[in-house]
Structure 1
């Protein structure tokens, strides 16, 4: 009985290996799973023991997949069938029309028949939505309460982004309001080359705590894509704008032409953790000592196995060189629960 069980388990193990995809790396490792995608010189392997692995093709000695794959070569030719690379720089594609052997460097992408060409997926414009909420409170010697909520919507393509946002913040400390802010706006950015592009943006804000009945800021100019990689982006912006501020108290309204500077940076760690840094500097054209600086840095950590829930922790600083409020700078430390969907 024991020997029969051993034979049965061995047969199941051998059968699972025979039907699975196998990747052998240059350092001698053997990885078993399902090859879901080959894109940009990286093989994506879905495994039962470690989730999705990404292996660079130059680190792969050979791989074998009995299941059919759709393969697009650099020339634009598309074929379908089982694929294998038995070492060296050659890949073999077994299609209905025969066997094709070609250099692995000529493979632009490969994917499952039920999936989509990754290049088409990258170039498709699509909406992405995100909502966040953070609520904190304290009772006892002091009574504190704070609520913050935001909603963002992006229509993103390979070289342009249309974005909308809405923020709400309110806080009390021993019955006294310490925050009461509502803001919303829209922006559009488009790149006409790998580096250069243009942008426009507008924002409306109400903040009675800072004596602001209405602040309107609009700007437009050039965008410079300094970094544009899968894991990291850095965009600098410079342009001209207009700012109008109506105050809650008797102070006269202000309006002025402005210069608009900005930096936007994102960095993704192992496709899991994402850091985002944004900085804007908006001085008046006729008086550079009259300026506003907004800085926001945060990191997003996924919650659970899906891609919907995240926790975002960060710090936001807002500084005004000339203001009727008691303080020139507001600093907020936040932890938000974020939900994203398409």
Structure 2
């Protein structure tokens, strides 16, 4: 009975090892784990003993994987490999009905393809920045922002928010927050219909409240392990409320973008999102809200971030609004 138990454990252990991806290095070392992505010259291997390990692809002799991976050799040359088998030095064999042996040096990217429909995918991040200056003029600056996305079936829900506060010599010079909620219904793999609610509140500027309800079609250019890019065309009902009590109520059309891209083996993320709008009659000439920034992953869940935010309203009867804000701080990612 004992020998049977030991045999079962040995078979299970061998099966687990067989399912792991393996990377052979030119110096003779062999590493096992799960290949998650190759980009920017770095192959990321998720391990149980060291977390996510970046490997210089120039040091890889060959590798194998039991997972389905998308292998890109050029701008338009890509194929899904059901498995990847080890080959001669400097080569790998892609298996997908037909075997194809390629040079490792010719491979530009390896990513895990995402299914069109998933049961539930939830991801997000929180970025916080604090700045305290003690001099002739004391300054306290706080900024916190979050973004979270959940997708189930053909539905995707996105919620974002941000709070800014700055004081100088105990006098508040900046105090505002933004909340945004969007729901998308995917009609095809790429096309979706978007509906969203947006609320901005500013306790300092003349434009103290903005309320926007919008809907329109969107197109998802890509959404994979290395990032995502989508554009949305919206027709909005926009309400401006100014500090003197005056109101602007109008319909507007806008284009919204959301782009992020991981670089250097998913250690650096470039991101930008925003909306450019134009009233359909009267009121302001245009409005712009945009963010652009970088995140550097320190661990699997912690990051450093640098961001620029810009809010602009041009041609309003109550004057123009043009503010730019720079923040740097720490973040959490899941």
TM more than 0.5:
yes
Decide whether the 8 Å contact of 2:284 with 2:317 is kept in 1.
no
Return 126-135 or 28-37, whichever deviates more.
Answer: 28-37
Residue of structure 1 equivalent to 2:300: 307
The offset of 1:170, in angstroms, is 1.1
Pick from 232, 235, 250 the counterpart of residue 256 of structure 1.
250
Return 208-217 or 237-246, whichever deviates more.
Answer: 208-217
Q: Which of structures 1 and 2 has the larger relative contact order (alpha carbons within 8 angstroms, sep 6+)?
A: 2
- Any idea what the Cα deviations from partners look like across 1:268-314, whole Å, max 9, x if unmatched? 102110010113111111138532101210000112xx321111101
Matched, 1:176 2:171: yes
Decide whether the 8 Å contact of 2:24 with 2:31 is kept in 1.
no
Matched, 1:287 2:282: yes
Residue of structure 2 equivalent to 1:265: 259
Matched residues in 2 for 1:320 and 1:285: separation?
15
- Any idea what the Cα deviations from partners look like across 1:250-277, whole Å, max 9, x if unmatched? 32x2211110212222111021100101
Secondary structure of 1:209 counterpart: coil
Secondary structure of 2:179 counterpart: strand
Structure 1's unaligned 5+ residue stretches are 1-18, 93-100, 107-116
Matched residues in 2 for 1:39 and 1:183: separation?
34
| CA separation of 1:196 and 1:339: change in aligned 2, threshold 3 A | same
Residue of structure 1 equivalent to 2:31: 33
Return 241-250 or 323-332, whichever deviates more.
Answer: 323-332
Decide whether the 8 Å contact of 2:269 with 2:296 is kept in 1.
yes
Which protein is bigger by CA-based radius of gyration?
1
Decide whether the 8 Å contact of 1:205 with 1:216 is kept in 2.
yes
| CA separation of 1:29 and 1:103: change in aligned 2, threshold 3 A | farther
What is the number of residues matched between the two proteins? 287
Matched, 1:208 2:203: yes
Structure 2's unaligned 5+ residue stretches are 1-17, 71-81, 102-111
Matched residues in 1 for 2:21 and 2:269: separation?
31
The offset of 1:70, in angstroms, is 5.9
Give matches, 1:1-342, under 5 Å. 23=23, 32-37=30-35, 45=45, 51-53=53-55, 63=63, 85-87=86-88, 103-104=98-99, 123-156=118-151, 160-228=155-223, 230-251=225-246, 253-269=247-263, 270-287=265-282, 289-303=284-298, 306-323=299-316, 328-341=321-334
The offset of 1:166, in angstroms, is 2.6
Cα-Cα RMSD: 4.2
| CA separation of 1:176 and 1:230: change in aligned 2, threshold 3 A | same
TM-score, length-normalised on structure 2? 0.69
Residue of structure 2 equivalent to 1:96: none
Secondary structure of 2:204 counterpart: helix
